[in-house]
């Protein structure tokens, strides 16, 4: 193995942890050497697949941790012992790591990333960066401060995987570099969540309540907002290019479908699907979705593993009936009105009636981002707010609009679609094809796109690869962290936070029923911090 191949520890052995570990292992991009996961079965399963294999040996001290705090304490003590000469860097039982993937619940990101920052490790954090505006800014400030203390920067990645899929990279090239439709006038982009996916994750599951996590625009669609910012705001390929910052942001949205007012009368007061008189005819029956529709040997991963983590072993080792019975056992779990809310929100209730849940996040939301003319006088001149100039020299900085729609009741599950309207043509895209229509020729050219891996159109695999390449470039001395960050990941912590700020500005607009001025909003954030 290449001596500069990064040694990686994964915090969180859920579906996203596997989504990154699998291609890293398969493609030899890095060596997965440790896992941190509180659920024993998930931790052991992850370790067998990527770290210690199916051998009978016990995991080494650095290979598994139950709590992320144990990991931090272990690494601090390891370094103390290393400095004291008690152990050597090459000792097999006390090896360190180069990078950490943070794939835990969103609300834990702030604590883990801040704890990792002083250690000087390279970090890839799953999206969103944090669940509040304050915490996002706090992470940026902490990283910047620790880089100054350490005297060097480290690679920091975020799970905004849409910008790394082959499909979207081609789309951006066509729009920004090839200018196949001239200057962009407007973009419409839709994220169809999927009818049963919404019920699983945002009605019954972990992301159903704002006080537990954050608004669904952040937890589900922050990488869609990032995609639009990457497509329309991020600097171009020219040296010295500056971001074209938005001017106005507005949003409307609410919880429309999954609320008690829409509960079918035939269901009565029943709160669990398995005891409901209309269960067999209900579209959102948990039995109908998880047992009848999804329980099959070809796909025993998400979402079934989020309900019964050991479902794959049960099915393959003990048979479908055993797996089915265990699944039904979990789906039968419910709570009454006497159970304190503090207990209810501590876990997911996948058998609960979708019209009787404690969910409050939007299942339908529209965000409008508006840009005004903001020309640069020359490549080395910073853009000035409110300036005007020759429209013939706007160079991608002309007025434009992006409309984003997050919608739950859809046939497609997370298969994005949209249109780009330009001055000389129009682009339509979905998850498989990009079609470019020229006004001049009247011809439409289709661009089929390749997909590497399953997650997010290959974005999961591509992002993991680019992160590992960036880390390897730094550890080998080939590049500084600054250069590797920009070359491989294409963005820095400032751009990461900027995309999150758009989400929080949109939520402010939605809740307060106002149009948010971007400059005023960011100035207020800067003053507050």
Are residues 310 and 414 both part of a single domain?
no
Are residues 380 and 417 both part of a single domain?
yes
pLDDT at 258 over 70: yes
Separation between Cα atoms, residue 77 and residue 398, nearest integer Å: 55
101 in a structural domain: yes
Sign of CA dihedral 279, 276, 200, 260: positive
Are residues 111 and 218 both part of a single domain?
no
Cis ω before 128 (30° cut-off from 0): yes
440 in a structural domain: no
What is the residue range of 308's domain? 260-344
In 3D, which of 365, 329, 89, 360 has the Cα closest to residue 217? 365
Confidence (pTM): 0.92
Are residues 219 and 157 both part of a single domain?
no
Angle at 432 (CA atoms; ends 431, 434), nearest 5 degrees: 95
Three-state SS annotation for 151-218: CCCCCEEECCHHHHCHHHHHHHHHHHHCCCCCCEEEEEEEEECCHHHHHHHHHCCCCCCCCCCCCHHH
In 3D, which of 508, 488, 515 has the Cα closest to residue 99? 488
- The residue whose two tokens read 């941190």 is 36
pLDDT at 90 over 80: no
38 in a structural domain: yes
pLDDT at 345 over 50: yes
Are residues 229 and 365 both part of a single domain?
yes
Sign of CA dihedral 273, 275, 278, 280: positive
Whether 174 contacts 145, CB under 8 Å: no
Are residues 135 and 33 both part of a single domain?
yes
Are residues 228 and 243 both part of a single domain?
yes
Q: At what angle do helices 109-116 and 68-83 cross, to 10 degrees?
A: 0
430 in a structural domain: no
Task: Read off the tokens for 455.
Answer: 């997650």
Q: What is the DSSP letter of 515?
A: P
Are residues 374 and 471 both part of a single domain?
no
Q: Using the 3D structure, point to which of 344, 367, 392 is the last residue of a domain.
A: 344
Are residues 304 and 404 both part of a single domain?
no
Are residues 227 and 327 both part of a single domain?
no
Residue 104: how many other CB atoms lie within 10 Å: 23
331 in a structural domain: yes
1: confidence class by pLDDT, cuts 50, 70, 90: low
Separation between Cα atoms, residue 387 and residue 268, nearest integer Å: 61
For the stretch 156-213, pLDDT in tens is: 999 999 999 999 999 999 999 999 999 999 999 999 999 999 999 999 999 999 999 9
Q: How many domains are there within the chain?
A: 3
- The C-alpha R_g of the chain, in whole angstroms, comes to 24
Are residues 108 and 15 both part of a single domain?
yes
For the stretch 497-507, pLDDT in tens is: 999 999 999 99
- How, if at all, do strands 364-371 and 248-254 pair? antiparallel
pLDDT score recorded for residue 388: 43
pLDDT score recorded for residue 380: 42
375: confidence class by pLDDT, cuts 50, 70, 90: confident
In 3D, which of 68, 38, 35 has the Cα closest to residue 52? 35
Are residues 92 and 230 both part of a single domain?
no
444 in a structural domain: no
Which CATH number is 142's domain given?
A: 3.40.50.720
Separation between Cα atoms, residue 207 and residue 306, nearest integer Å: 13
406: confidence class by pLDDT, cuts 50, 70, 90: very high
Q: Using the 3D structure, point to which of 293, 316, 344 is the last residue of a domain.
A: 344
60 in a structural domain: yes
For the stretch 413-451, pLDDT in tens is: 999 999 999 999 999 999 889 999 999 999 999 998 866
Whether 463 contacts 448, CB under 8 Å: no
Which CATH number is 511's domain given?
A: 3.30.360
Q: Strand, helix or coil at 272?
A: strand
Cis ω before 303 (30° cut-off from 0): yes
Q: At what angle do helices 493-512 and 133-150 cross, to 10 degrees?
A: 160
**Residue 342, Cβ density class (10 Å: 0-12 exposed, 13-18 middle, ≥19 buried):** exposed
For the stretch 377-390, pLDDT in tens is: 654 444 444 444 44
User: Average model confidence (pLDDT) for the chain?
Assistant: 92
Q: Using the 3D structure, point to which of 320, 344, 368 is the last residue of a domain.
A: 344
438 in a structural domain: no
């Amino acid at each position: 193995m290449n001596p500069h191949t990064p040694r990686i520890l994964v915090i969180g052995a859920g579906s996203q942890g596997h989504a990154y570990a699998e291609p890293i292992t398969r493609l030899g991009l890095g060596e997965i050497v440790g896992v941190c996961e509180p659920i024993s079965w998930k931790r052991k399963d992850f370790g067998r697949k990527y770290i210690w294999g199916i051998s009978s040996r016990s995991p080494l001290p650095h290979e598994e941790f139950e709590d992320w705090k144990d990991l931090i304490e272990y690494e601090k003590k390891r370094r103390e012992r290393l400095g004291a000469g008690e152990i050597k860097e090459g000792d097999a039982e006390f090896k360190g790591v180069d990078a950490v993937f943070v794939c835990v619940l969103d609300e834990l990101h702030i604590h883990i990333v801040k704890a990792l920052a002083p250690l000087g490790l390279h970090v890839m954090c799953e999206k969103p960066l944090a669940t509040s505006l304050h915490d996002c800014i706090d992470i940026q400030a902490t990283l910047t401060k620790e880089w100054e203390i350490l005297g060097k920067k480290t690679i920091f990645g975020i799970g905004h995987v849409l910008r790394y899929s082959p499909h979207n990279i081609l789309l951006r090239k066509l729009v920004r570099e090839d200018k196949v439709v001239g200057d962009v006038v407007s973009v419409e982009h839709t994220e169809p969540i999927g009818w049963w996916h919404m019920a699983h994750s945002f009605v019954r599951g972990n992301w159903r309540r704002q006080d537990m996590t954050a608004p669904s625009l952040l937890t589900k669609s922050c990488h869609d907002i990032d995609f639009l910012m990457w497509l329309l705001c991020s600097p171009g390929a020219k040296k010295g290019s500056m971001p074209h910052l938005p001017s106005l942001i507005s949003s409307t949205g609410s919880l429309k479908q999954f609320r008690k007012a829409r509960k079918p009368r035939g269901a009565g007061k029943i709160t669990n699907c398995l005891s409901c008189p209309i269960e067999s005819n209900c579209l959102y029956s948990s039995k109908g979705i998880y047992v009848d529709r999804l329980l099959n040997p070809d796909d025993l991963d998400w979402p079934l593993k989020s309900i019964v983590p050991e479902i794959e072993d049960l099915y393959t080792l003990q048979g479908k009936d055993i797996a089915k019975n265990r699944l039904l056992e979990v789906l039968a779990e419910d709570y009454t009105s006497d159970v304190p809310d503090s207990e209810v929100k501590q876990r997911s209730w996948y058998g609960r009636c979708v019209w009787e849940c404690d969910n409050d996040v939007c299942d339908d939301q529209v965000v409008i981002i508006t840009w005004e003319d903001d020309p640069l006088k020359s490549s080395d001149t910073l853009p000035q707010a409110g300036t005007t100039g020759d429209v013939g020299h706007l160079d991608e900085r002309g007025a434009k609009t992006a409309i984003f729609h997050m919608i739950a009741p859809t046939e497609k599950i997370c298969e994005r679609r949209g249109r780009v309207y330009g001055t000389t043509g129009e682009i339509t895209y979905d998850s498989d094809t990009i079609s470019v229509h020229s006004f001049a020729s009247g011809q439409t050219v289709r661009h089929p796109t390749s997909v590497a891996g399953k997650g997010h159109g290959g974005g999961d695999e591509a992002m993991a690869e680019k992160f590992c390449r960036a880390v390897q470039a730094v550890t080998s001395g080939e590049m500084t962290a600054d250069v590797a960050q920009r070359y491989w990941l294409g963005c820095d912590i400032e751009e990461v936070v900027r995309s999150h700020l758009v989400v929080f500005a949109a939520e402010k607009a939605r809740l307060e029923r106002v149009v948010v001025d971007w400059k005023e909003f960011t100035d207020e954030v800067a003053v507050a911090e």
